[in-house]
Homo-oligomer: A and B are copies of this chain.
Amino acid sequence: MAMSEDYHLMWKNLGLDLEAHDALLGVLGPAYQDIYLAQKNRPEGMGYFDFVMSEVHGLRIKELLDEKAAGRKIIGSYCVFVPEEIVLAAGATLVGLCAGADFATDEVEKLLPRNTCALIKSTFGFKLGKVCPYLESADMVVGENTCDGKKKAYETFKGLVDNLYVMDLPQMKSEQGRVLLQSEYYRFKSAVEELTGVAITTDSLKEAIKTVNAKRAAIHRLSVLRQADPAPISGLDALLANQVFFYDNPARFTASVEKICDELEARVAEGNGAFPKKTPRILVSGCPQAVPNWKLPLIVETSGAVIVGEESCVGERGARNLTDDSGKTVEEMMEAIVERYYQVDCAIFTPNQDRLAHIEEMATKYKADGVIHYGLQFCQPYLMESIPVEKALEQQNIPTLRIETDYSMEDMGQLKTRIEAFIEQLR
């Protein structure tokens, strides 16, 4: 991508493989051009996100390094179960780490089974290929025992990353499960406090909760605006905002999303959409889509439909609930944090009925004509769950298409054929 400065020295100092990293950016830049900038009738406010993406390995990394130089710690994460509130309250910064593109696959498959999901392989690929400046900037990398794939992969990842911290998670939302989450969040709090040398206080935690809630409230506002027909923003652009949610400075992100929402409100009032009115509306549900994984919305929105919501960790599953900030003590607010994250209806939980209820609720709220269940190949929790989900949705006369894919482009043609046929039946 075209960046405003030459960051090669910064990347070199971070230990990146400059040649490989240049090659990566050399693919990403034109891809962003073709996928994002080629869209028609985009909100002007997306210019901010275009800039963010053009500087995603540049200016944002420089900012993080400036924070580090000023004594602030950077914590990297791969999952929405890592509470940003705790990180911010200890004066640290949380960033999502690269997991959205294939890289160094041959090297990865020496360490992981070929039958591993693309997201986990990507995590390893960015490390082995030395092309993720976020990972290399992080003072602590947080893994979590969510699915079997990640849980077991982190054992090997620990040998590649010298500051990996692994958070345990329950499999059931039982009394014991809640106690485990609570205990793990306290353990994480201690680890973050130890890393930063900053003790979390009532004030700092309250402030952090407000900051993260503001970010979520802004993205909620954006989501609600997508209820309009015509949808004022494309699914591609909305997904990008949901992706940048994990990378950007929280306050700046919030302000930028609010600004775009002001514009979208005006668009809705004028009946101005990213696509014409009556364009078939799709709810996407399933696995997370990390930057630069724009494969599904690209296919959908070049096949005559618009995506109006993401039931996903990078989307409403991850950002849905606010954390109660009314607690008077650190303990009360920690309890509110546990309560908030405990509601995340990831398919790692059994049973996980709330998720179906949320999909149905979102389909109604966003006036979706159909649901596409996005499953990453070999992601057992979501692939398993997608079959009963599809049955339940179809019983409610919500047309549903289950797709199973990875990060390669090999199945683009086949997916496009299936998705076009699905959209045709929604008209």
Contacts and interface: CB of A to CB of B under 8 A. Distances in A.
A383 B350 contact: no
A207 to B, nearest CB: 30
Nearest to A404: B113
Interface string A370-396: 000000011011011111100000000
B152 A384 contact: yes
Contacts of A149: 148, 380, 384
9 contacts: A113-B387, A145-B172, A151-B350, A152-B384, A155-B388, A168-B171, A168-B172, A179-B179, A380-B380
B169 A111 contact: no
Given A171-B168, A176-B179, A176-B180, A383 B155 contact: no
Chain A interface extent, by class: 35 or more
B171 A383 contact: no
Contacts of A377: 115
Contacts of A168: 171-172, 174, 176-177
A166 interface: yes
B152 A112 contact: no
A interface majority secondary structure: helix
Task: Give the residue among A351, A380, A381 with the most B Cβ atoms within 10 A.
Answer: A380
A145 B156 CA distance: 23
Copies in the complex: 2
A163 interface: no
Given A378-B378, A384-B153, A148 B147 contact: yes
Interface of A: 110-113, 115-116, 145, 147-149, 151-156, 166, 168-169, 171-172, 174, 176-177, 179-180, 183-184, 347-348, 350-352, 377-378, 380-381, 383-388, 404
B171 A151 contact: yes
A147 B383 CA distance: 14
Contacts of A113: 380, 383-384, 386-387, 404
Given A112-B384, A156-B384, 10 more contacts: A145-B172, A148-B149, A148-B381, A149-B384, A155-B351, A155-B388, A166-B350, A168-B171, A176-B176, A176-B180
Contacts of A111: 387
Contacts of A151: 171, 350
